[in-house]
Amino acid sequence: MVGRSHVLTSVPADGGRGVIVAESPFYPLDPFWPDQPGDVGYLQSDGLEMRVVDCVTGAARKSGGELLLGVDVPVRRGHPDWHWVVVHVVERSVPPGTEIRMLVETDRRRAFSAGHTASHLTALALNAALAGRWEAPAGTERDGLGHPDVAASGAVKSRIVLNGSVDTYRFPGLAAETLPDVAKDMEARLTAWIDSAAPVVVDAAGPDLGDRRVWRCALPDGTAARPCGGTHVNHLGELGRVAVTLEPAEAGDELLVEVRTS
């Protein structure tokens, strides 16, 4: 993935200097839900090439104030009183106004996009598989396929990995002996969905980093949607084969769900 823009400013950042441009194709780590790592790649200008070793979220109050980076930002991305930027961490500053070419490491981005899409699909498959095996708490909302959205209500943390994800959920009272059947059910659903090659889209309310984004996928069972600021594949056929692993997490009522695509 390639982009062109001009430098607005450079700021101190862990590991070097943080370069901020007018528009960027790079995905930055979200500090409040750090599931998908930030992109890496290169910034190029007039024979100069610098490695982007990390990409993080930055924000400053619209009323004025210091630009804060990563975990120092006190509000969630999209807060209307803050302006949000992509911060490219490189070895040294780049003068304001410099025209640059930006290259995202494509294979890495593609693998994380596959993992992020797989994570959303796995949550939907988990909802479906548990619908007849575990009683959802009263008032649990339903997902786009009509099942209790226990994956959303029980989510503890998520980690997007290359071509997969590792997610932790809290399901008190879920019998461990049911896990092999749950995994088999999930794999069958995921395989059918992937074989459908259903298109994946991310609807954005606007072009800014802080604008709301919604992931949508028109599955054979119905259209699923959820807020998501990450990156994704264009259609499910890109995911290939899928394997699901379920096992109890360290906490007694938590479930570790791992999905891998190939």
Q: For every residue of 110-171, which 3-state class applies, written as one string?
A: HHHHHHHHHHHHHHHHHHHHHCCCCCCCCCCCECCCCCECHHHHHEEEEEEECCEEEEEEEC
Question: Which contacts qualify for 211-218: CB closer than 8 Å, 24 or more apart?
Answer: 211/78, 212/78, 215/120, 217/117, 217/120, 217/121
- Nearest CA-CA partner of 10 in 83, 93, 89: 93
For residue 116, the Cα-to-chain-centroid distance in whole angstroms is 5
Of 70, 104, 138, which marks where a domain is finished? 104
pLDDT for 199: 98
* Pairing of the two strands 200-204 and 254-261: unpaired
Same domain, 100 and 112: no
- Alpha carbon 81 to its chain centroid, in Å, reads 23
Residues 127 and 237 both lie in one domain: yes
Burial 112-122 (b: 16+ CB within 10 A, else e): bbbbbbbbbbb
Give the predicted TM-score (pTM) of the model.
0.95
Residue entry with tokens 């700021």: 11
Same domain for 56 and 167? Answer: no
Q: Which domain holds residue 45?
A: 2-104
DSSP letters of 163-231? TEEEEEEE-TT--GGGHHHHHHHHHHHHHHHHHTT-BEEEEESSSSTTS-EEEEEEETTEEEEEE--S-
Q: Which residues contact 36 (CB under 8 A, 6 or more apart)?
A: 27, 29, 30, 112, 115, 116, 160, 230, 231
pLDDT at 15: 81
pLDDT at 226: 96
Q: Are residues 92 and 139 in the same domain?
A: no
Total residue length of the chain:
262
Give the SS3 label for residue 72.
helix
Verify that 70 and 136 share a domain, yes or no. Answer: no
Same domain, 253 and 154: yes
Q: In this structure, are 60 and 124 located in the same domain?
A: no
107/212 Cα distance (integer angstroms):
26
| Residues 40 and 60 both lie in one domain | yes
CATH of the domain at 241: 3.30.980.10
Same domain membership, residue 177 and residue 59? no
CATH number for position 94? 2.40.30
Domain boundary among 53, 70, 104: 104
116 lies in the same domain as 177:
yes
Dist. CA 149–CA 120, nearest whole Å: 12
Looking at residue 151, its pLDDT comes to 97
- Nearest-angstrom CA–CA distance, 21 and 41: 15
Last residue of a domain, one of 79, 104, 129: 104
Q: Are residues 97 and 111 in the same domain?
A: no
Q: Distance between alpha carbon 74 and the CA centroid of its chain, in Å?
A: 20
Tens digit of each residue's pLDDT (9 = 90 or more) over 218-259: 999 999 999 999 999 999 999 999 999 999 987 779 999 999
Residues of the chain where predicted confidence (pLDDT) is lower than 70: none
Residues 111 and 99 both lie in one domain: no
Number of structural domains the chain divides into:
2
